[in-house]
A = this chain, B = another copy of it.
Amino acid sequence: MLEELKKQVYEANMELPRRGLITYTWGNVSGIDRETGYFVIKPSGVDYDKLTLDDMVVMDLDGNKIEGNYKPSSDTPTHLELYKKYPEIGGIAHTHSSEATSWAQAGRDIPLYGTTHADHFYGSIPCARKLTPEEIYSVYEKNTGLVIIETFEKRGINPMHTPGVLCTNHGPFTWGKDATEAVQNAVVLEEVAKMATKTELINPKVKPAPDCIRDKHFFRKHGANAYYGQ
Protein backbone atom coordinates (compact mmCIF):
# COMPACT_ATOMS: atom_id res chain seq x y z
CA MET A 1 0.00 0.00 0.00
CA LEU A 2 1.31 3.45 -0.98
CA GLU A 3 4.69 1.92 -1.73
CA GLU A 4 6.04 4.93 -3.57
CA LEU A 5 4.97 7.35 -0.87
CA LYS A 6 6.49 5.09 1.80
CA LYS A 7 9.74 5.05 -0.12
CA GLN A 8 9.78 8.83 -0.43
CA VAL A 9 8.97 9.33 3.24
CA TYR A 10 11.59 6.80 4.28
CA GLU A 11 14.23 8.52 2.13
CA ALA A 12 13.21 11.90 3.48
CA ASN A 13 13.61 10.63 7.05
CA MET A 14 17.05 9.22 6.25
CA GLU A 15 18.09 12.59 4.84
CA LEU A 16 17.83 14.13 8.32
CA PRO A 17 20.91 12.40 9.81
CA ARG A 18 22.81 12.84 6.51
CA ARG A 19 22.23 16.59 6.76
CA GLY A 20 23.21 16.72 10.44
CA LEU A 21 19.77 17.80 11.60
CA ILE A 22 19.20 14.88 13.97
CA THR A 23 20.70 13.50 17.16
CA TYR A 24 19.46 10.01 18.01
CA THR A 25 15.71 9.80 17.23
CA TRP A 26 14.85 13.49 17.61
CA GLY A 27 12.82 14.08 14.50
CA ASN A 28 10.28 12.70 12.10
CA VAL A 29 9.03 13.21 8.58
CA SER A 30 5.66 12.36 7.05
CA GLY A 31 4.03 12.55 3.62
CA ILE A 32 0.39 12.36 2.60
CA ASP A 33 -1.53 10.80 -0.28
CA ARG A 34 -4.40 13.21 -0.79
CA GLU A 35 -6.51 10.72 -2.77
CA THR A 36 -6.84 8.17 -0.01
CA GLY A 37 -6.29 10.70 2.78
CA TYR A 38 -3.67 8.41 4.28
CA PHE A 39 -0.30 9.66 5.43
CA VAL A 40 2.97 7.82 6.06
CA ILE A 41 5.10 8.70 9.08
CA LYS A 42 8.19 7.48 10.95
CA PRO A 43 7.58 5.15 13.91
CA SER A 44 8.20 6.60 17.39
CA GLY A 45 11.67 6.42 18.93
CA VAL A 46 13.22 4.04 16.38
CA ASP A 47 16.93 4.61 15.67
CA TYR A 48 17.75 5.99 12.23
CA ASP A 49 20.53 3.41 11.99
CA LYS A 50 18.00 0.60 12.16
CA LEU A 51 15.08 2.23 10.36
CA THR A 52 13.86 0.35 7.27
CA LEU A 53 11.27 1.06 4.64
CA ASP A 54 8.96 -1.53 6.21
CA ASP A 55 8.94 0.28 9.54
CA MET A 56 6.98 3.22 8.12
CA VAL A 57 3.49 3.61 9.60
CA VAL A 58 0.36 4.44 7.57
CA MET A 59 -2.28 6.58 9.31
CA ASP A 60 -5.60 8.12 8.34
CA LEU A 61 -6.65 11.69 9.11
CA ASP A 62 -8.77 10.54 12.06
CA GLY A 63 -5.61 9.24 13.73
CA ASN A 64 -6.25 5.54 13.09
CA LYS A 65 -3.33 3.32 12.22
CA ILE A 66 -4.00 1.71 8.82
CA GLU A 67 -0.78 -0.27 8.49
CA GLY A 68 2.50 -0.80 10.30
CA ASN A 69 4.24 -2.83 12.97
CA TYR A 70 5.09 0.12 15.18
CA LYS A 71 3.40 2.98 16.96
CA PRO A 72 3.64 6.16 14.87
CA SER A 73 5.74 9.16 15.96
CA SER A 74 4.46 10.75 19.15
CA ASP A 75 4.17 13.99 17.13
CA THR A 76 1.63 12.41 14.76
CA PRO A 77 -1.30 14.54 16.03
CA THR A 78 0.66 17.69 15.13
CA HIS A 79 1.18 16.48 11.56
CA LEU A 80 -2.48 15.48 11.35
CA GLU A 81 -3.80 18.93 12.27
CA LEU A 82 -1.61 20.59 9.67
CA TYR A 83 -2.69 18.15 6.95
CA LYS A 84 -6.37 18.70 7.80
CA LYS A 85 -6.14 22.47 7.79
CA TYR A 86 -3.89 23.02 4.77
CA PRO A 87 -4.65 20.82 1.75
CA GLU A 88 -1.61 22.26 -0.10
CA ILE A 89 0.76 20.61 2.39
CA GLY A 90 2.03 17.25 1.11
CA GLY A 91 4.84 16.57 3.60
CA ILE A 92 5.97 17.67 7.07
CA ALA A 93 9.31 17.48 8.91
CA HIS A 94 10.11 18.00 12.57
CA THR A 95 13.63 18.19 14.01
CA HIS A 96 15.51 19.54 17.02
CA SER A 97 18.27 20.94 14.78
CA SER A 98 20.42 23.13 16.95
CA GLU A 99 20.30 26.52 15.22
CA ALA A 100 16.55 26.62 14.63
CA THR A 101 15.80 25.09 18.03
CA SER A 102 17.87 27.81 19.70
CA TRP A 103 15.60 30.44 18.12
CA ALA A 104 12.57 28.45 19.30
CA GLN A 105 14.02 28.32 22.81
CA ALA A 106 14.72 32.05 22.63
CA GLY A 107 11.07 32.58 21.68
CA ARG A 108 11.80 34.85 18.71
CA ASP A 109 10.74 35.04 15.08
CA ILE A 110 13.71 34.75 12.71
CA PRO A 111 13.92 38.09 10.89
CA LEU A 112 14.48 38.09 7.14
CA TYR A 113 18.05 39.36 6.89
CA GLY A 114 18.91 38.39 3.35
CA THR A 115 18.34 36.66 0.07
CA THR A 116 19.11 33.15 1.35
CA HIS A 117 16.07 33.52 3.58
CA ALA A 118 13.95 35.31 0.97
CA ASP A 119 14.65 32.63 -1.64
CA HIS A 120 12.71 30.15 0.51
CA PHE A 121 10.63 31.93 3.17
CA TYR A 122 8.55 34.99 2.34
CA GLY A 123 9.05 37.12 5.45
CA SER A 124 10.14 36.35 8.98
CA ILE A 125 9.76 32.77 10.19
CA PRO A 126 7.17 32.96 12.96
CA CYS A 127 7.61 31.69 16.48
CA ALA A 128 4.27 30.40 17.80
CA ARG A 129 3.16 31.49 21.27
CA LYS A 130 3.80 29.33 24.33
CA LEU A 131 1.16 26.70 25.01
CA THR A 132 -0.81 27.14 28.24
CA PRO A 133 -0.47 24.49 30.97
CA GLU A 134 -4.01 23.35 30.07
CA GLU A 135 -3.02 22.91 26.42
CA ILE A 136 0.07 20.98 27.48
CA TYR A 137 -1.62 18.67 29.98
CA SER A 138 -4.55 17.79 27.72
CA VAL A 139 -3.83 16.84 24.09
CA TYR A 140 -0.35 18.34 23.84
CA GLU A 141 0.71 17.21 20.38
CA LYS A 142 -2.66 18.13 18.83
CA ASN A 143 -2.47 21.54 20.49
CA THR A 144 1.00 22.02 19.04
CA GLY A 145 -0.64 21.70 15.63
CA LEU A 146 -3.44 24.07 16.59
CA VAL A 147 -1.11 26.78 17.86
CA ILE A 148 0.85 26.62 14.60
CA ILE A 149 -2.40 27.12 12.68
CA GLU A 150 -3.43 29.95 15.02
CA THR A 151 -0.10 31.66 14.33
CA PHE A 152 -0.51 31.53 10.56
CA GLU A 153 -4.19 32.49 10.61
CA LYS A 154 -3.88 35.38 13.07
CA ARG A 155 -0.91 36.88 11.27
CA GLY A 156 -2.31 36.17 7.81
CA ILE A 157 0.74 34.20 6.69
CA ASN A 158 0.47 31.93 3.64
CA PRO A 159 1.92 28.59 4.81
CA MET A 160 3.12 27.72 1.30
CA HIS A 161 5.09 30.98 1.14
CA THR A 162 6.51 30.56 4.63
CA PRO A 163 6.80 26.79 4.94
CA GLY A 164 8.04 26.59 8.52
CA VAL A 165 7.46 27.65 12.11
CA LEU A 166 9.21 27.64 15.45
CA CYS A 167 7.36 26.25 18.48
CA THR A 168 8.44 28.14 21.62
CA ASN A 169 10.62 26.10 23.97
CA HIS A 170 10.47 23.22 21.52
CA GLY A 171 11.77 23.38 17.95
CA PRO A 172 10.95 23.77 14.27
CA PHE A 173 8.37 22.21 11.98
CA THR A 174 8.71 22.66 8.23
CA TRP A 175 6.59 21.46 5.32
CA GLY A 176 6.27 21.49 1.56
CA LYS A 177 4.51 19.98 -1.40
CA ASP A 178 5.90 16.57 -0.36
CA ALA A 179 8.18 14.95 2.24
CA THR A 180 11.31 15.68 0.19
CA GLU A 181 10.56 19.39 0.06
CA ALA A 182 9.65 19.45 3.75
CA VAL A 183 13.15 18.20 4.59
CA GLN A 184 14.77 20.63 2.15
CA ASN A 185 13.00 23.43 3.98
CA ALA A 186 14.31 22.04 7.30
CA VAL A 187 17.84 22.24 5.88
CA VAL A 188 17.29 25.79 4.65
CA LEU A 189 15.71 26.88 7.94
CA GLU A 190 18.72 25.59 9.88
CA GLU A 191 21.11 27.52 7.63
CA VAL A 192 18.98 30.66 7.76
CA ALA A 193 18.76 30.43 11.56
CA LYS A 194 22.54 30.04 11.86
CA MET A 195 23.21 33.07 9.69
CA ALA A 196 20.61 35.20 11.52
CA THR A 197 22.36 34.52 14.84
CA LYS A 198 25.73 35.48 13.36
CA THR A 199 24.28 38.53 11.63
CA GLU A 200 23.06 39.92 14.95
CA LEU A 201 26.42 39.21 16.60
CA ILE A 202 28.25 41.10 13.86
CA ASN A 203 25.82 44.01 13.90
CA PRO A 204 23.57 44.16 16.98
CA LYS A 205 21.61 47.05 15.41
CA VAL A 206 20.95 45.32 12.10
CA LYS A 207 17.52 45.81 10.53
CA PRO A 208 15.64 43.25 8.44
CA ALA A 209 16.23 43.41 4.69
CA PRO A 210 13.89 45.76 2.81
CA ASP A 211 10.67 44.38 1.35
CA CYS A 212 11.96 44.79 -2.20
CA ILE A 213 14.69 42.21 -1.51
CA ARG A 214 12.12 39.83 -0.04
CA ASP A 215 9.75 40.23 -2.99
CA LYS A 216 12.43 40.11 -5.66
CA HIS A 217 14.11 36.95 -4.39
CA PHE A 218 11.01 35.04 -3.37
CA PHE A 219 9.26 35.61 -6.67
CA ARG A 220 12.46 35.02 -8.66
CA LYS A 221 12.15 31.41 -7.48
CA HIS A 222 8.39 30.97 -6.89
CA GLY A 223 5.17 31.61 -8.79
CA ALA A 224 4.23 32.52 -12.33
CA ASN A 225 7.15 34.89 -12.98
CA ALA A 226 9.91 32.73 -11.55
CA TYR A 227 13.04 32.65 -13.68
CA TYR A 228 15.51 30.79 -11.42
CA GLY A 229 16.35 27.22 -12.42
CA GLN A 230 15.57 25.36 -15.64
Residues of A within 8 A of B (CB): 23-26, 43-46, 70-71, 74, 96, 98-99, 101-108, 113-116, 119, 130-131, 133, 136-137, 140, 169-171, 184, 187-188, 191, 194-203, 206, 209-210, 212-213, 216, 220, 227-230
A102-B136 in contact given A24-B184, A169-B115, A171-B116 (Cβ < 8 Å): no
Count of chain copies:
4
Look across to chain B and name the residue whose beta carbon is closest to the beta carbon of A130: B210
Q: Are B216 and A136 neighbours in the complex by a CB distance under 8 Å?
A: yes
B74 near A115 with CB under 8 A, answer no
Q: Within 8 Å CB of A213, what residues of B? A: 136, 169-170
A102 touches B199 (CB 8 A): yes
* Option from B43, B102, B206 in Cβ contact (under 8 Å) with A195: B102
Contact across chains for A203 and B99 when beta carbons are under 8 A apart: no
- Distance between Cα atoms of A146 and B101 in the complex (Å): 35
Q: Is the CB of A106 within 8 A of B169?
A: no
Q: Are B102 and A220 neighbours in the complex by a CB distance under 8 Å?
A: no
CA–CA, A31 to B228, complex, Å?
Answer: 21
* Contact B206–A114 (Cβ < 8 Å): no
